Amino acid sequence: MWRFRAFVVCFVAAFFLGAAGAAAAYHTRFVASNCNTAAPTPTSYITRDGSAAVALRARYEGYQWAGGCWNDNDLDDSPNDPTTDPATGGEGGDCSGFTFKVWRESVTESDASFYQWGMLRNVHGPYTASRYKAGHGAPNSTVPKSSLIKMDALASESHIGLVYATNPDGTDQIIEAKGEAYGTGIWTRTYRGDSSYGGVRRTGWSS
């Protein structure tokens, strides 16, 4: 009988410890502890290499639905958050939030000028992948996929990634905030040949 009671006690204890652990993983405090709402710095020009440098600082960082805040420690500081839950407050942008910051855009859609956002500034911006695909907003325009170069984007209804480099075989190295299981990084993709993707370009590059 005592063995049965011991088993029940252990089972109950294990259950609550497991639940507590799961809750800690789901509700990180990355945004609350690290991110800010500082104003962006207006800048008079942007270059593709400059934006690539901005993008590379997000490489190896996390992914957060509706997110837009990351550090540069080459680590996903909040892995395995439930997908599509903005309340988990984890590290990273989602695909459109990442693009918004790399492209140095304004939260005002009619404003095509350039704004440098800090890495730890938590901002997503008004655009979704679908709206980027349609070229919504003054800074964004649709372009033929054949014309895409570094730091242009390929966007579908549900995802957007930036061209980092083009491979000799015609595939692209895409830098993107891919998902909770992947974080933000560079992968070879065939988005350019996928009919569900369209070409998008940020207006106003100096070089």
Partner 1 sequence: MLSTASVLVAGCDGTHDSAPARLMDDSPAAELHVEFEDVESQTVLTSVGVLNAVEVDHLSAVGACLQQDWDDRPSGPIVVRVGVSGESVTFRNRSRRGLYGCDNSEGPREEDRAWCGRVFGQLYAGELRDPRLDVGACTTRAGGVLGFAWIEPHTGVQYVVVEQSGYAEVYEVAGGLPVRVATTSGVETEVSRAAFDVSEHTADGTLIRKYRLVARVAG
Position 198 contacts partner 1 (CB under 8 A): yes
- Please list every residue from 84 through 103 that binds partner 1, using CB under 8 A: 84, 86, 94-97
Please select the residue that binds partner 1; options are 98, 117, 127, 164, rule is CB under 8 A: 127
List binders of partner 1 among 142-161 (CB under 8 A).
156-158
Distance CA 173, CA 12 (A): 49
For partner 1, the closer of residues 25 and 107 by Cβ is 107
Which residues have CB under 8 Å from 169's CB, separation 6+?
A: none
Q: Which amino acid is at 72?
A: D
Strand residues in 36-171 grouped as ranges (E): 41-43, 68-69, 92-93, 114-116, 140-143, 153-155, 160-166
Stretch that binds partner 1, among 7-15, 55-63, 78-86, 162-170 (CB under 8 A): 78-86
Rounded least distance, CB 10 to partner 1, Å: 36
Q: If binding is defined by CB under 8 A, does position 167 make contact with partner 1?
A: no
Where do the H-state alpha helices sit in 123-196?
129-133
CA 196 to chain centre: 20
Contact yes or no for 159/129 (Cβ under 8 A): yes
Q: Which stretch binds partner 1 (CB under 8 A): 4-12, 135-143, 146-154, 162-170?
A: 135-143
Contacts to partner 1 by CB under 8 A: 65-66, 83-84, 86, 94-97, 107-110, 123-131, 133-134, 136-138, 156-158, 195-196, 198
